[in-house]
Structure 1
Amino acid sequence: MTTAHAAAADFTQDDRILRCTGPWTLSQLGDVPNRLEHLDRPPETVDLSGVDRMDTVGAWLVHRLKRDHAVAIEGANDKAQELIEKVSTIDKPLRSKPDEGSPVQRVLAHVGDATIIAGRTLYGLVEFFGATLIALWNVILNPKRFRGNAVIKQFEVVGVDALAIIGLMSFLIGIVIAQQGAIQLRQFGAEVYTINLVGRLTFRELGVLMTAIMVAGRSGSAFAAQIGSMKLAEEVDAMRTIGLAPMEALVLPRVIAAVTMMPMLAFYAAMMALIGGGLFSWFSLDLPPVTFVARIREVVPMTDVYQGLIKAPVFGLIIAMAGCFQGMQVEGNAEAVGLRTTSAVVQSIFLVIVLDAFFAVFFASIGWI
């Protein structure tokens, strides 16, 4: 038997009944928890009629007795009973990580999440494209709002600064196409058709496609990073506060620059690829430049040139829209800038390749083959 002490929590056990007395609070419990763990025999009933105060620690001790020994609780006042019920409600096993489910469920979950994200992104791009058209219409109605200096600056960023890397890349691609084509055509004694391969492939596909990929990596990522950094620094909100429209000041100049410069860059890339293929043909296949140029004029129809020039501004629009859209979505911290920049490049390249496939089917259907 243990004698109850009025100034501290205590309990007595008699005939399978555990009678609790005093304040069952953290400061008054003393060695009660340790003694409860070393009971000679578990009680059948816990009598709380002698408890005048109880906190969550005392309620936990009573709940643990009820949980471990299936005892009945009697004599608890309303507040103590409510506290014990709340403690029992949150007494659930803790899982270090959620159930992963089967591999099939995880794959389906990832596919579903990716589909939802892709759908939301596509919807956001369409909405952003509409906002860009509205901004363009507002500038047309009020030409004074057109930012010529910003557009010229973006001409330099998108076009002039990219000439070196695009020229070198296209020159080397022209050499590679000519070299690989010559190796295969040599088996049939048709090395002269290497010129056909270089000419048609660069004007129709690789010239504009590789240029779009390079512009997406250079300018698309730059658009997302620049606008994202401004969004993170709340400069975009400050522009709205002072009455400037971010779509007109930030997005429209970049879109105009990309759409305008892409056809020029694509044609420049095709010419550099022709130069690379022509030099390889001259030194490796003994085809002089005059023969190379004459053959290009014979085998490359103007429809091939038109295809590249038609696709280029569309690709430029997609790249600029994706970069600016992802930049405008930045929020939170600096990590979001990197994530959105990566998303801008990936989405630009993906959409460019998808549209290129649609263009190929469309041009074939109208006889431009």
Structure 2
Amino acid sequence: MKRALLLLNIILLSIGNCGGPLLLRLYFLHGGKRIWFTSWLQTASWPVILLPITIAYLHRRRGTTIQPSSSSPPPHTKLILMKLPLFIASAAIGILSGFDNYLYAYGLARLPVSTSALIIASQLGFTAVFAFLLVKQKFTSFTINAVFLLTIGAAVLAMHTSNDRPDGESNKLYVLGFAMTVAAAALYGFIMPLVELTYKKAKQEISYALVMEFNMVMCFFATGFSTVGMLVNNDFQAIGREAREFEFGEGRYYLLVVGSALILQCFFLGGIGVIFCASSLLSGIIIAVLLPVTEILAVIFFQEKFQAEKGVSLVLSLWGFLSYFYGEMQQNKQKKKQTLETEMPPIPSSPC
């Protein structure tokens, strides 16, 4: 059951991680200019999580109908499972996520998708460090090699970045976008192990229904953070005008922003779902593994340049992926071998 749940969350994470950047970049390329608005879009569809939460609640209620009745219903039949300490933790992580969304949106507005995707891959290095510090993540030689290669692969992009600067954009804005994207990668690399630590320290049983509630609260506060920025920047008043001036038309503008919000919600739910099923490090690995897909899609749909630095970075990233998964396969084989040896009954000694 948990493997199926892990697969489901990997699929959600893949959809959000590959589709989200492409849709947001499409917004910026064809007339969109509101950075706070795109930051808001990344978590604004949090109400859709109410549907699976309600379904999970009805499933729990149906499961209790076959049990003998008692004077008070068991706690797991409540609609809201989250206790106050976990609520406070998810709210705090949500505010951090809102700030991270702004950093990411700013970087994406200034950089091609392929470049920003490769920079975001550097978050694996930050995730590994914070996972070691916060949740005492254990590392094998293969894991260390993978993290090193993936981080170096992203760092290669710092070489000759001016050649990849979009037409009409100043060097100052491009460098600032590069720095903001790196900061977004570092902050999200901290947020993922923080979520895992919260799961471990929660003084209640963590179920997937609770994970969905956690995601909803986190996205609610992240959206609140971005809403304040939108109010200060007068983004709400500008949306109608921006929609009318959008190159693809007003209707497709609203279709784009709604689709972006829904797909990016898959990213957040999938990410913390993978952490629940496995670990924050695996969530970071999967995000990095999806890098070549995002690269190829950006080149196909946006005709972005694929320079030598990106090629070197991509090769190093793929090498890192292979190293990680090979290490996982070897570790699983060793565990199975040890399990068989411990379960094998001792051979009785022959009488003298």
Structure 1 and Structure 2 fold alike (TM over 0.5): no
Which has a greater percent of strand? 1
Which has a greater percent of helix? 2
Structure having greater relative contact order (Cα 8 Å, sep ≥ 6): 2
Find the structure with the greater CA-based Rg. Answer: 1
